[in-house]
Protein backbone atom coordinates (compact mmCIF):
# COMPACT_ATOMS: atom_id res chain seq x y z
CA UNK A 1 0.00 0.00 0.00
CA UNK A 2 1.33 3.45 -0.95
CA UNK A 3 2.05 5.96 1.80
CA UNK A 4 -0.55 8.31 0.28
CA UNK A 5 -3.25 5.63 0.54
CA UNK A 6 -2.19 4.99 4.11
CA UNK A 7 -2.36 8.68 5.02
CA UNK A 8 -5.83 9.00 3.46
CA UNK A 9 -6.94 5.99 5.52
CA UNK A 10 -5.55 7.64 8.64
CA UNK A 11 -7.45 10.83 7.75
CA UNK A 12 -10.67 8.80 7.65
CA UNK A 13 -9.97 7.40 11.11
CA UNK A 14 -9.23 10.86 12.48
CA UNK A 15 -12.39 12.27 10.88
CA UNK A 16 -14.36 9.55 12.66
CA UNK A 17 -12.78 10.57 15.97
CA UNK A 18 -13.63 14.22 15.26
CA UNK A 19 -17.26 13.31 14.55
CA UNK A 20 -17.49 11.35 17.79
CA UNK A 21 -16.01 14.25 19.75
CA UNK A 22 -18.55 16.60 18.22
CA UNK A 23 -21.35 14.19 19.19
CA UNK A 24 -20.30 14.11 22.86
CA UNK A 25 -19.24 17.77 23.10
CA UNK A 26 -22.74 19.09 23.96
CA UNK A 27 -22.81 16.75 26.99
CA UNK A 28 -19.46 17.96 28.33
CA UNK A 29 -20.29 20.38 31.14
CA UNK A 30 -16.93 21.94 31.98
CA UNK A 31 -14.09 23.74 30.23
CA UNK A 32 -11.76 21.12 31.71
CA UNK A 33 -13.74 18.39 29.98
CA UNK A 34 -13.50 20.20 26.64
CA UNK A 35 -9.78 20.71 27.24
CA UNK A 36 -9.38 16.98 27.77
CA UNK A 37 -11.03 16.30 24.41
CA UNK A 38 -8.79 18.90 22.76
CA UNK A 39 -5.74 17.22 24.31
CA UNK A 40 -6.76 13.90 22.76
CA UNK A 41 -7.12 15.52 19.33
CA UNK A 42 -3.84 17.35 19.80
CA UNK A 43 -2.01 14.10 20.55
CA UNK A 44 -3.54 12.29 17.59
CA UNK A 45 -2.69 15.13 15.20
CA UNK A 46 0.84 15.44 16.56
CA UNK A 47 1.42 11.77 15.86
CA UNK A 48 -0.22 11.98 12.42
CA UNK A 49 1.70 15.12 11.46
CA UNK A 50 4.96 13.49 12.51
CA UNK A 51 4.21 10.52 10.29
CA UNK A 52 3.44 12.78 7.33
CA UNK A 53 6.62 14.78 7.81
CA UNK A 54 8.97 11.87 8.44
CA UNK A 55 7.67 9.50 5.80
CA UNK A 56 6.21 11.66 3.06
CA UNK A 57 6.95 15.37 3.10
CA UNK A 58 10.70 15.16 3.58
CA UNK A 59 10.85 13.33 0.26
CA UNK A 60 8.80 16.05 -1.39
CA UNK A 61 10.00 19.26 0.29
CA UNK A 62 11.78 20.58 -2.80
CA UNK A 63 8.71 20.13 -5.04
CA UNK A 64 6.31 21.60 -2.51
CA UNK A 65 8.63 24.53 -1.81
CA UNK A 66 8.82 25.36 -5.51
CA UNK A 67 5.04 25.51 -5.68
CA UNK A 68 4.54 27.45 -2.42
CA UNK A 69 2.57 24.61 -0.88
CA UNK A 70 5.11 23.69 1.77
CA UNK A 71 4.67 27.05 3.50
CA UNK A 72 0.91 26.56 3.48
CA UNK A 73 1.24 23.08 5.00
CA UNK A 74 3.47 24.31 7.80
CA UNK A 75 1.28 27.36 8.43
CA UNK A 76 -1.88 25.26 8.64
CA UNK A 77 -0.21 22.80 11.03
CA UNK A 78 0.83 25.70 13.25
CA UNK A 79 -2.65 27.26 13.16
CA UNK A 80 -4.33 23.98 14.07
CA UNK A 81 -1.87 23.42 16.92
CA UNK A 82 -2.43 26.97 18.18
CA UNK A 83 -6.19 26.52 17.94
CA UNK A 84 -6.07 23.39 20.06
CA UNK A 85 -3.79 25.07 22.62
CA UNK A 86 -6.23 28.00 22.72
CA UNK A 87 -8.90 25.68 24.12
CA UNK A 88 -6.90 25.57 27.38
CA UNK A 89 -6.92 29.37 27.57
CA UNK A 90 -10.68 29.69 27.01
CA UNK A 91 -12.68 31.72 29.49
CA UNK A 92 -15.34 29.07 29.99
CA UNK A 93 -16.99 25.96 28.67
CA UNK A 94 -18.83 27.65 25.77
CA UNK A 95 -15.72 29.41 24.48
CA UNK A 96 -13.65 26.22 24.85
CA UNK A 97 -16.25 24.34 22.82
CA UNK A 98 -16.21 26.98 20.07
CA UNK A 99 -12.44 26.87 19.89
CA UNK A 100 -12.38 23.08 19.74
CA UNK A 101 -14.99 23.02 16.95
CA UNK A 102 -12.95 25.63 15.04
CA UNK A 103 -9.80 23.51 15.36
CA UNK A 104 -11.66 20.43 14.14
CA UNK A 105 -12.98 22.37 11.13
CA UNK A 106 -9.48 23.66 10.36
CA UNK A 107 -8.18 20.08 10.54
CA UNK A 108 -10.87 18.86 8.16
CA UNK A 109 -10.03 21.62 5.69
CA UNK A 110 -6.33 20.81 5.98
CA UNK A 111 -6.97 17.12 5.29
CA UNK A 112 -8.99 18.09 2.22
CA UNK A 113 -6.13 20.28 0.96
CA UNK A 114 -3.63 17.47 1.44
CA UNK A 115 -5.84 14.94 -0.32
CA UNK A 116 -6.68 17.23 -3.25
CA UNK A 117 -3.28 18.81 -3.86
CA UNK A 118 -0.42 17.35 -1.85
CA UNK A 119 -1.00 13.60 -2.02
CA UNK A 120 -1.52 13.62 -5.82
CA UNK A 121 1.72 15.58 -6.09
CA UNK A 122 3.46 12.93 -3.99
CA UNK A 123 2.03 10.21 -6.22
CA UNK A 124 3.29 12.05 -9.29
CA UNK A 125 6.73 13.05 -7.99
CA UNK A 126 7.78 9.80 -6.34
CA UNK A 127 8.15 6.42 -7.94
CA UNK A 128 5.53 3.80 -7.13
CA UNK A 129 8.17 1.65 -5.44
CA UNK A 130 9.19 4.55 -3.20
CA UNK A 131 5.57 5.22 -2.26
CA UNK A 132 5.13 1.54 -1.40
CA UNK A 133 8.37 1.48 0.62
CA UNK A 134 7.19 4.50 2.60
CA UNK A 135 3.86 2.76 3.21
CA UNK A 136 5.75 -0.28 4.45
CA UNK A 137 7.83 1.91 6.77
CA UNK A 138 4.58 3.29 8.21
CA UNK A 139 3.28 -0.22 8.87
CA UNK A 140 6.53 -1.19 10.55
CA UNK A 141 6.04 1.68 12.97
CA UNK A 142 3.12 -0.33 14.36
CA UNK A 143 0.43 1.90 12.92
CA UNK A 144 -1.28 -0.28 10.37
CA UNK A 145 -5.07 0.12 10.52
CATH of the domain at 27: 1.20.120
pLDDT, tens digit, 9 for 90 and up, residues 98-134: 999 999 999 999 999 999 988 898 888 888 998 898 8
With beta carbons less than 8 A apart as the criterion, state whether 108 and 4 touch: no
pLDDT, tens digit, 9 for 90 and up, residues 83-96: 999 999 999 999 99
Burial label, 30 (beta-carbon count in 10 A; 0-12, 13-18, 19+): exposed
Confidence label for 144 from pLDDT (cuts 50, 70 and 90):
very low
List the domain range (segments joined by +) for residue 128: 3-143
Q: For residue 68, give the 3-state DSSP assignment.
A: coil
Does the global pTM surpass 0.75? yes
pLDDT (average), residues 55-76: 69
Confidence label for 37 from pLDDT (cuts 50, 70 and 90):
very high
| Cβ atoms < 10 Å from Cβ of 49 | 16
* Of 11-20, 60-69, 95-104, 132-141, the least confident: 60-69
H-assigned helices in 68-127: 69-88, 93-113, 119-125
Q: 118-145 in b/e burial notation, b at 16+ Cβ within 10 A?
A: bbebbeeebeeeebeebbbebeeeeeee
Total count of domains within the chain: 1
Q: 65-95 in b/e burial notation, b at 16+ Cβ within 10 A?
A: eeeebbeebeebbeebbebbebbeebeebee
Q: Does the pLDDT of residue 52 top 90, yes or no?
A: no
Amino acid sequence: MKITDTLVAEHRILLGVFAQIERVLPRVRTAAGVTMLASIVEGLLLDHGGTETELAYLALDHVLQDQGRLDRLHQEHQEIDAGLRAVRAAGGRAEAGRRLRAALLASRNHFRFEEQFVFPLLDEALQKETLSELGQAWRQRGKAP
